[in-house]
Amino acid sequence: METPISIEVRDLTIAYGDHVVQHDLNFTVNTGDIFVIMGGNGCGKSTLMRSLIGLQRPAEGSVLYSGRDFWNVDHDEHQRLKRRLGVMFQGGALWSSLTLAENLALPLNQYTGLSPQLIDEIVSLKLALVGLAGFGEFYPAELSGGMKKRASLARAMALDPDILLIDEPSAGLDPLNARRLDELILELRDSLGTTVVLITHELASIMGIGNNSVFLDTETRTMIDTGDPRRAVQSGDPKVRHFLTRGEA
């Protein structure tokens, strides 16, 4: 039986005005993937993510979620599709003036009609899922870098998204905390069935948890589709092999 498709990117061009960042992007993210968007600094990974989550309209092409064209549907359908997505931004984007519990409750209050009691229960559950049970009344400034990342991940999951998009989760973390965060992402995918799109250039994350990928090339401003990054080390495009071995292969 074929694996259901979560995301299809077709003939996508992303640009700032006349400056083309990437063009002719075509790839598929299957349900249950940990799909890695990889490439060197400045290749357009985060810009692509902005087009995937509704923050930047592509110059050309389509982004389809389960066959629905994200950028060519009416407003209500566009908002419904956005509700399927959870986003963890690179800097965490937690509100510094709110406690962790208040940060997680914010999307629940905004997008659902749930009672305050039920929202409190969901917040407690999400914090427990990322190992932060009992930290609901803490403010972001009172947390370590790794704890902030996990809190950001919990907030991204507040609305039980089908697809979780994570931008550079290991940025600023030491290797131990980075590995723990990767393990947490893998556990959440396996336990909740969430499809994960991971934007990163970190080899440990790419090789440790990714099962599918696309490589964005800075020089040609287009993609080199590689599939499983572990296989790409042996049989992928030379540029990808160089990137995944940092020139050692």
189 vs 193: CA distance, rounded Å: 5
The reported pLDDT for the residue numbered 16 is 94
Confirm if 205 and 178 have CB atoms less than 8 A apart: yes
The reported pLDDT for the residue numbered 237 is 86
CB environment 26-61: b (16+ within 10 A), e (fewer)? ebbbeebbbbbbbbeeebbbbbbbbbbbbebebbeb
Q: Is 195 helix (H, G, I), strand (E, B) or coil?
A: strand
The reported pLDDT for the residue numbered 1 is 46
Q: Is 196 helix (H, G, I), strand (E, B) or coil?
A: strand
136 vs 100: CA distance, rounded Å: 5
157 residue type, one letter: M
Mean pLDDT, 10 residues at a time, the chain of 249 residues: 75 95 96 93 91 94 93 91 88 89 93 92 93 94 89 91 90 83 89 91 89 94 90 84 72
Query: For the chain, which domains are there?
Result: 1-84+162-173+191-249 (3.40.50.300), 91-160 (no CATH)
